[in-house]
Amino acid sequence: MMKPLLRTDLLSLQQYSEQRLQFRRQVMAHKKNRVIYLGEHLGLYFEDRLTMQYQVQEMLRVEKIFEDAAIEEELATYNPLIPDGHNLKATLMIEYTDVAERQQMLTHLVGIETRVWMRVAEFEKVWPIADEDLERADATKTSAVHFLRYEFSEAMIAAAQAGGTLSSGAEHPAYHSEVIVAPEVTQALIADFTMDTSGTRNPG
């Protein structure tokens, strides 16, 4: 499992400023194998310790946060998005380049955040637990961003680690899609079940 981020894992504002471009390249390369596209307009972006370190470092940089208490608040916000060994955690993005079309579709896609599933081999579909941090939708409109947690049984995890096919899809009255997850993405996600990143992944 992945251990939560600690203050000691983070770079100071000055250190991060000096190493930001290198770190960003590292994270962007890492993220390439951590996304599943469901059709043209839905993306599942899977989080882990490195992606969350990047988010925290960026928040500290933008907000110029350096006090210990404020840093701990940021860690408390982002640490829950790190998988803990028996789940996968993802940011669901509803992506329409045209603003007017996006706003219209957000009214049609109410509830989509609970209808995006994952599946290992022939096991039953795993439906997400959505938006545990805060409410992101109402009866008339959903948000373009949702945070999802997928809980897998030990049998499912074992099957995935043994080479079982990973698939994903969306089942919603206004949106349907189903895909077989690419092998390189499957391998990256399976690592979330076993990876122990107790050491820091600071750049440099």
pLDDT in tens, 156-189: 999 999 999 999 999 999 999 999 999 999 999 9
Averaged confidence pLDDT in the chain = 92
Same structural domain for residues 113 and 177?
Answer: yes
Tokens 């039953």 belong to residue: 124
102 in the same domain as 144: yes
**SS3 of residue 129 by DSSP:** strand
Q: Any idea which of 13-22, 63-72, 127-136, 144-153 has the lowest mean pLDDT?
A: 127-136
- Taking residues 48-54, what's their average pLDDT? 96
Same domain for 101 and 186: yes
pLDDT by residue (tens digit) across 7-48? Answer: 999 999 999 999 999 999 999 999 999 999 999 999 999 999
One domain, residues 43 and 142: yes
> E strands of the chain, at which residues?
35-38, 42-46, 87-94, 116-120, 129-130, 145-151, 166-172, 175-180
Enter the tokens of residue 150.
Answer: 């997928």
Amino acid letter, residue 52:
M
In terms of pLDDT, which residue wins out, 132 or 74?
74
In a domain, 202, yes or no: no
Residue 12 belongs to some domain of the structure? yes
Same-domain pairing of 166 and 181: yes
The answer to the question of residue 58 being in a domain is yes
Tally: H helices and E strands in the chain? 6, 8
The CATH number that applies at residue 183 is 2.60.40
| 60 inside domain | yes
pTM (2 d.p.): 0.88
**Backbone phi, then psi, for 52, in 5-degree steps?**
-75, -35
Same domain assignment for residues 163 and 67: no
The reply to whether 136 and 117 lie within a common domain is yes
Stretch 139-162: mean pLDDT? 94
| % pLDDT > 90, the chain | 87
Q: Is the pLDDT of residue 194 over 50?
A: yes
Angle CA(187)–CA(156)–CA(148) in degrees, nearest 5? Answer: 75
Number of domains observed in the structure of the chain:
2
Query: Are residues 120 and 161 in contact, defined by beta-carbon separation less than 8 angstroms?
Result: no
Looking at the fold, whether 67 and 106 belong to one and the same domain comes out as: no
> Could you tell me if residue 155 is inside a domain?
yes
Domain check: are 93 and 156 in the same one?
yes
Identify whether 113 is part of a domain.
yes
State the residue range of the domain holding 21.
Answer: 1-32+49-82
